Amino acid sequence: MRPALRVGLALLWVAWAVVTWWSAPRAATIAEAQADAAAGRIVAHYWADSFAASANDTLWFAPPQVSTIYDGPAQMLVWRAGFGRVHYALVADIVTEPGPRGLVVVEPNPADPLRAALPAGQHGNPIPSVASVLALTIALVCFAVLIQGPAPKLGTRWFWFFLGLLPFGLGVLLWLRAERPWTEPEPPAPDKKTGQPKRYTGLTGLGLLIVGGIVISILVALLRSLPEWLVPSALS
């Protein structure tokens, strides 16, 4: 049962990674938004002012959420045009000009023509929740096995807990590859002071989490030079 569970969790991670990459919001232009609206390809949309990083972008990376949804002079349109693909476009900075009492907003709003072209009755969250469901499933199963399963050999439970917080679930993949109950590695050399097998502690896991997070962030920043379709800017 455990080997099958290990394979199942690995396959779930692959499915989550593919769905997250596919549905991650990708930068687009106003012309593309107008073309999708005119062709009736927009399934769901909303207006917002900016993206906010998801609370799950460490252990279980998920697409960013829109920080504010409102009906005022929005500067960003987020829409889904079928097949789960999500796009966002900056409409324009809100135009202002000097007035008798300071800066005033110039009317009409640059977003008004595009707002009028969008289909009625399709205002809603365009970001699919499939990735979040997969991530939650993996998190709950892994946490249950870590707590209720055999004591780890390479590191303590706290070590693997902190390491599991690495971005993109990479620590979880390492745990699935290296630890019990999936494998039975050779026991570590005994500690010279206690005579007991030496395991990595939670403090070591926390240190690896900090260092690994910095390294991964640098690598992701470098990947931003690749095309948007390959590495969506919303993923970094």
pTM for this structure? 0.75
Lowest mean pLDDT among 126-135, 147-156, 182-191: 182-191
More confident residue, 73 or 220: 220
Closest CA to 29 of 92, 123, 119, 73: 92
If pLDDT is split at 50, 70 and 90, which confidence band does 226 have?
confident
Please return the burial class of 16, using the count of CB atoms within 10 Å of its CB with bins 0-12, 13-18 and 19+: buried
Q: What is the CA radius of gyration of the chain?
A: 23
pLDDT, greater one: 116 or 228: 228
Phi, psi of 25, rounded to the nearest 5 degrees:
-60, 130
Q: Which residues lie closer than 8 Å to 149 by C-beta, 6 or more apart?
A: 180, 181
User: What is the pLDDT, as a whole number, of residue 89?
Assistant: 84
Mean pLDDT of 121-143: 81
CB of 65 closer than 8 Å to CB of 51: yes
Measured at the CA of 26, the angle between CA 24 and CA 30, to 5 degrees, comes to 145
- Over residues 194-201, mean pLDDT: 78
Residue 113 has pLDDT above 80, yes or no: no
CB 234 within 8 A of CB 85: no
Is residue 33 within 8 A of residue 113, CB to CB? The reply is no
State mean pLDDT over 76-84. Answer: 83
